[in-house]
Amino acid sequence: MQFKFLRRFLFVTVCLIPVAALFAAGAWLGAQLTKKPEPLVTEEPANLAKPVARGFLEAALASRFAGHHREALERLEEARRANPSQPGLEYQFALTHLDLREYDAAEACARQSLRRGEEQSNAHALLAMIALAKAKAGGSPELARDAVLKNVQAGRVADPLNPAPHYALAEFYRATGRPDLAMEPYQRALERVSKADSILVSTVKAGLSGLRVSHKPSAPPLQPESADGVAPPEQLIFAAADALLRGDKDRASRYLTQARERIPGPLYEALLKDPFFQDYLAPGTVSTHTDTPPE
C-alpha cells in the first residue's frame, strides 16, 4: 500500500504538477510584466513569430494536460512553423509523442532537445522513460537497462535537484519486478520534490518556465521588487532571466552575482543548472563559487 501511494504521489508531483506550475508561474509573471504601461512599438514580422509560437505552445500544454495528445501535437506543429527555434519545443514534442506511444519519434525529439542544449536533465530522464516504455511494449523491460542507467546518471549530473531521473530509475526497477530496489530512488525523487516544495526552489523553477513562455520583448524590463532596498533572491533570478531573454548578459550577470550572495553555495549552483540557464547562459558567465557564505 505504501509503495503504491508513493508511486502515485510521485507520478503526480514529478510528471503532472510541473505543467500546472508552469501555467501558474506564467500568470504570475505576466502580471509582474504588465504592472507598468507597455510602450507602443512596431515589431517586425520576424519578431512577431516568437509570441505567436509561445501562444501555440501554451495551447499545446493545455491540451496535453487535458489528455488531448493528438491535439497537443497539432498545436506544437503550429508553434514549430511559427518559430522553429522556440526553446523547449523539442522536449514538449518528445513528451507528447511518448503519450501517444510513438516511441521512435519521442526518442528523436528528446535527442534533438539534447543537441540544442535544452532541457538537459529532463531530456535524459525522458530518454530513460522512453526506452523503458518501448521495452515494456515489446514484453522485455529488462532490455532497457543500459539506456535507463546511462540517461539517469546523465540527468542527475545535469540537474541535481531534478526528481525526474530518480523517478525514471524507480520505474525501471518496478517494471522489472524489483520493487525493493525501486524504493530508494522513489525516496530520492520524493526528497527532491520536498526540496522543490520550499518557497525558493519551487518559485524559481516554476517561475523560470513561466517567464520563458510569457516573455514579451516589448514589455519593460523586469525589475526586482525589494523590501527596504533588499531584493529577495528569487526576484533577482527572475530579473536575470528576463535580461537573458533580452540578450543582455551583462545585466543578467549582475543580478545573478547579487543572488549568489543571498543563497547558500550548493543551492545556488544547483539552481543555475536549471534548463533555463543551460539554454541561455554560457558556461562560466557567472562564477558559482563564493568564499563567504551568506548571512
Question: Using CA atoms, how far apart are residues 107 and 113, in angstroms rounded to an integer?
Answer: 10
Q: Check if the beta carbon of residue 24 is closer than 8 Å to that of residue 206.
A: yes
Q: Which three cell numbers stand for residue 91?
A: 522536449
Cα separation values, 47 from 16, 135, 242, Å: 32, 43, 17
Confidence (pLDDT) at 105: 97
Average confidence score pLDDT of the chain:
77
pLDDT value at 140 more than 90? yes
pLDDT digit string, tens, across residues 92-113 = 999 999 999 999 999 999 999 9
Query: Is-same-fold flag (49-118; 139-197)?
Result: yes
pLDDT value at 48 more than 80? no
Distance of CA 7 to the CA centre of its chain: 21
In the chain, where are the structural domains located?
49-118, 139-197, 199-280
Superfamily of domain 49-118 in CATH is Tetratricopeptide repeat domain (1.25.40.10)
Q: Check if the beta carbon of residue 155 is closer than 8 Å to that of residue 165.
A: yes
Integer-rounded Cα Rg, in Å, for the chain is 19
Confidence (pLDDT) at 47: 54
Task: With CA atoms as reference, report the closest residue to 235 among 255, 206, 215, 249.
Answer: 255
pLDDT value at 230 more than 80? no
CATH class of 139-197: mainly alpha
Confidence (pLDDT) at 115: 95
| Reduced 3-state DSSP string for 27-82 | HHHHHHHCCCCCCCCCCCHHHHHHHHHHHHHHHHHHHHHCCCHHHHHHHHHHHHHH
pLDDT band at 217 (very low <50, low <70, confident <90, very high): confident
Of all residues in the chain, the percent with pLDDT exceeding 70 is: 70
